[in-house]
A and B are shown apart, each in its own frame.
Chain A
């Protein structure tokens, strides 16, 4: 037994060193959380008093007139993110499948590289691009232009996460399917995607969260509005645009409303992230079972 025991000095030194490093790591975590907690605290403290059912269901009012709300901005954000999702999911998932399952193709390599470049593009540049191509052509700011800008931002994110989650599907499963006399395409749709579907869902949710918070590309495309848009080809409000306009305005009630809208946006993000965490949890459960 004696031989298993460390000399007292060494044992004490190890305990102290262990304590110091544990403390340092803990401190680092705390420091990293400080901005998050400060922002969340500030947004909740200033935004919560503004929020009410009326706030969510009323149109904005001019400065100094009480009873203004964010109904049109909520609707605009949902509309534009919704359309952007409809466009970017098929494109992004399709591209991701191509990158992951046909890596030997030269087109796959090239477009995968370009996809990375697009993912890194400053969003304001995408806004300018859509402004020139869509807004100047149709001669109007519109929800459609906004949705297109958001779709361009979402597509590479979805493509990349799709590729990564399909690459996690073990090669043995692909071979198992092919060995049954199943074609490569059917193996991808029937086995690979169904095994990696939780990862796909995660990527789509993350892209939606990112798009919902985007402001810069919408300034040049959707513009913002104080009314409900009567169609897709009209200037349209969005939460992020409303926060931007109200926050830099000189009016106290608008500034207060900006905090309220900010809290709503943060809560939306939180909900999406929670949903993401849940799907990731399922994904890991599946991978564990498989090993």
Chain B
């Protein structure tokens, strides 16, 4: 039973069965762009996520934080159906994009991923492609040939990723020849080029130095104006700096979810408090 169903089916009746109902009281649920309902996932027989219900507000940044092994990466990989590409991966529950379940039968996972883009932990530009081709990859691989369109998209995406000024003179250079931070911003540009609605970021700065991290965070603050962003991080300061909402996961379960400032200043759960004060994790 999930939040939406409870609202439809009568709040009071269900509340005893499900305590998680009131887990994110600060959220205006009407504005949810993306929502999970009792999402369970794992590999083979081991269950990593034990039923997570969360909603992500449109044009905001939501941070998913938690100690290593809490399932945050598995969780975010379920949101654009990348998780299921891993051999042996299992998933159940619902993920709603604008109210439509992306795991429903007959839903094209390829179309889902075009609407929900992803940035990975390790920068993964295509090594045999130039900076230009990397930024244009999503369009080119989907058959766009029009040079004018491509030029436009490449420039716009690279600008949005705060990378244009650094690479505009060397668009023909291999994408793999850039620095780590530039590579990651190239990957952000690549994801933006296909004009997704949601951007998932799986610890996008964990392999980068503080300067490169700052640039990524700067880009995120701009992107928030147009995109719904979900970021996984094990860096508490980063979660506090960039996000509007924060969810705390522990051992595959959602412990607490709320407005970032409130959650950090006044955590309701003891586990959350212990985590953000550095007592474990």
Contacts and interface: CB of A to CB of B under 8 A. Distances in A.
Contact of A104 (B87, B111, B114, B190): B87
B110 interface: yes
B127 interface: yes
B43 interface: no
B124 A172 contact: yes
Contacts of A173: 124, 126-127
The residue in B80, B124, B142, B174 that gathers the most chain A C-beta atoms within 10 A of its C-beta is B124
Given A175-B120, A180-B114, A289 B141 contact: no
A195 B122 CA distance: 18
Interface in B28-87: 80, 82, 85, 87
Closest CB pairs A-B (n = 8): A181-B114, A180-B138, A290-B127, A179-B118, A289-B176, A172-B124, A176-B124, A181-B113
A132 interface: no
Contact of A182 (B82, B120, B141, B196): B141
A286 interface: yes
23 contacts: A172-B122, A173-B124, A175-B120, A176-B124, A176-B125, A176-B126, A179-B113, A179-B191, A180-B138, A181-B111, A181-B196, A183-B110, A186-B141, A186-B142, A190-B141, A191-B126, A191-B137, A195-B126, A195-B128, A197-B128, A286-B128, A287-B127, A290-B127
Interface string A186-209: 110011001101000000000000
A54 B191 CA distance: 63
Contacts of A182: 110, 137-138, 141-142
A194 B174 CA distance: 14
A185 B187 CA distance: 21
B204 interface: no
A180 B194 contact: yes
Contacts of A287: 127
Given A173-B126, A186-B142, A178 B113 contact: yes
A170 interface: yes
Contacts, number: 87
A181 B87 contact: no
A61 interface: no
A177 interface: yes
A98 B125 CA distance: 24
B177 interface: yes
Please classify how large the interface on chain B is, using the bins under 10, 10 to 19, 20 to 34, 35 or more. 20 to 34
Contacts of B141: 177, 180, 182, 186-187, 190-191
The residue in A180, A190, A286 that gathers the most chain B C-beta atoms within 10 A of its C-beta is A180
A169 to B, nearest CB: 9
Interface in A9-47: none
Interface string B167-199: 000000010110000000001001101101000
Contact of A289 (B110, B124, B177, B190): B177
Contact of A181 (B124, B127, B142): B142
A175 B113 CA distance: 11
B258 interface: no
A186 B140 CA distance: 10
Contacts of B120: 172, 175-176, 179
B85 A178 contact: yes
A178 B138 CA distance: 9
Interface string A158-176: 0000000000001011111
B82 A178 contact: yes
Nearest to B143: A186
Nearest to A186: B141
B41 to A, nearest CB: 16
B117 interface: yes
Contacts of B87: 103-104
A212 to B, nearest CB: 30
Contacts of B193: 180
Interface in A141-172: 170, 172
Contacts of A103: 87
